[in-house]
Amino acid sequence: MTNLTDPITRLSRDLRKAAATLSDTEARFLVDIYYQMQDQRIRANNQVRAQSESAEPHDVLIWFAEQADVLEKQIKAALLNYSMAHLIGPWAMETVGVGPVISAGIIARIDINKCPTVGHIWRFAGLDPTSKWNKGEKRPWNADLKRICWLLGESFVKVSGNERAFYGHTYQTRKAMEIARNEEGYNREVALEQAKRVKKSTDAYKSYSIGELPPAHIHARAKRYAVKLWLAHLHQVWWEKATGTPAPLPYAIAQLGHAHKIEPPH
């Protein structure tokens, strides 16, 4: 620790409790600030590390990194109480890979009363492949929610080795299936079409040109599948808690018969 005076005031117990009454707008602001601070802390730590390799890092740099870490933890504590005070928050955070920041970021951006089916959430999160953003039109999804869902997918990947990580295992299983289908030529037409849109010097082109999706594309597909399944389960539990009635099945299951229903694990 440095000898500089620490100006950070930690949240009191009363303030932590009061965080349960944050409005959705305030929670969204705190989530955004949290990720901005996280980026700044990472940059500061990288600078400290770089300085350590050539000379002793300056106390001010170390101080800044430490203060950023303290603030992140205080915001996370506030968002934990915000999430726990919401109907679906405790369920969401029972998921391995879902912490208070991701939970709050999703809860604060979704109005379950405006989402009679999970398809509404998928579309709002930018996970509906049929939803297009054409020039001159308003973006049909929420950019912040889409980013948080991307972070959620990354989290599922990180915890996929945990035996309790249901959605991490979902990612692994789906990825294995996508790899097998890719090698069997299932994606040939899509891949060859993509080959026309990327530079021939890229690694992606090497895969697309032979009728296969590149590893990064497979990874993204599997990750997106796990996220959409979690959102489907979130919607099911949230809708039933909020309305006391069973949640409608996703369109692909109810109308098209594309897949069997997977029940929430908890």
The pLDDT tens digits of the residues spanning 71-90 come to 889 999 999 999 999 999 99
Residues 123 and 117: their CA atoms lie apart, in Å, by 10
Which residues in 24-37 are b (16+ Cβ under 10 Å) and which e?
A: eeebbebbeebbeb
- Mean pLDDT, rounded, of the chain: 89
pLDDT band at 57 (very low <50, low <70, confident <90, very high): low
The domain of 64 spans: 9-85
Residue 57 within any structural domain of the chain? yes
Residues 129 and 252: their CA atoms lie apart, in Å, by 13
CB-based contacts of 44, cutoff 8 Å, min separation 6: 61, 64, 65, 68
Q: Is 237 exposed, middle or buried (0-12, 13-18, 19+ CB in 10 A)?
A: middle
Residue 29 within any structural domain of the chain? yes
Residues 240 and 126: their CA atoms lie apart, in Å, by 24
Q: Are 175 and 218 in contact (CB under 8 A)?
A: yes
Residues in the chain: 266
Residue 246 within any structural domain of the chain? no
Residues 187 and 174: their CA atoms lie apart, in Å, by 15
H/E segment holding residue 237: helix 215-243
Residue 43 within any structural domain of the chain? yes
Residue 71 within any structural domain of the chain? yes
pLDDT above 80 for 212: yes
Residues 91 and 51: their CA atoms lie apart, in Å, by 43
- The DSSP line for 13-75 is HHHHHHGGG--HHHHHHHHHHHHHHHHHHHHHHHHHHHHHHHSPPPHHHHHHHHHHHHHHHHH
Residue 53 within any structural domain of the chain? yes
Return the number of other C-beta atoms located less than 10 Å from residue 221's C-beta: 17
pLDDT band at 178 (very low <50, low <70, confident <90, very high): very high
Residue 65 within any structural domain of the chain? yes
- What percentage of the chain reaches a pLDDT higher than 70? 91
pLDDT above 80 for 231: yes
The pLDDT tens digits of the residues spanning 37-55 come to 899 888 888 887 887 777 7
Long-range contacts (CB closer than 8 Å, 24 or more residues apart) made by 195-202: none
Residue 22 within any structural domain of the chain? yes
Residues 88 and 86: their CA atoms lie apart, in Å, by 6
Task: Please report the pLDDT score of residue 40 as a whole number.
Answer: 85
When divided into structural domains, the chain yields a total of: 1
HEC letters along 156-206: HHHCCCCCCCHHHHHHHHHHHHHHHHHHCCCCHHHHHHHHCCCCCCCHHHH
